[in-house]
Amino acid sequence: MMVPVFVDTGGWIAMAVVRDQFHEHAALYYREISGKNVPLITSNYVLAETYTRIRYDDGHAKAIKFHSLVQEAIKIGKLHVEWVTPAMHQEAWDIFESFTDQVFSFVDCTSFVIASHAGVKEAFGFDEHFNTMGFILRP
């Protein structure tokens, strides 16, 4: 089985918002990994953050459409959404609290925990904090 790629908020935003500065890079990378049937994983926290950003940046209708696309990807098995558990929340808080030299968002910390638990090596997004935590950032 292929190792999944974790999709961060920046990856989702860049794919969904055509005027995003990283849209072309994100769309190209997504086509590449989709063609290879690489499994994708994200979290409910990342999706919540993404829906909100799309709503603010590109409007309510676009956020609703994006949600529909996410649901379809889940339904056909291209995307797995990991829900943050209380134990993951605590583990993320421990990261958030201990990395005083980094400006990690709490959602970032939950993403690090989920990606680590899933054996993920690569993250699709534009947040250099993934590199800091030992993941390979794509594209």
- What is the pTM for the complete model shown? 0.95
Which class is domain 3-135?
A: alpha beta
The count of C-alpha atoms lying within 13 angstroms of the C-alpha of 92, restricted to the half-sphere facing its C-beta, is: 21
CA distance 25 to 95: 30
Q: What is the pLDDT of residues 118-136, one digit of tens each?
A: 999 999 999 999 999 999 9
Q: What is the pLDDT of residues 30-40, one digit of tens each?
A: 999 999 999 99
Q: What is the pLDDT of residue 76?
A: 95
Backbone angles phi, psi at 21, to 5 degrees: -60, -25
CA distance 39 to 5: 6
Radius of gyration of the chain (CA): 14
CA distance 82 to 88: 10
Domain-wise residue ranges, the chain:
3-135
CA distance 24 to 94: 36
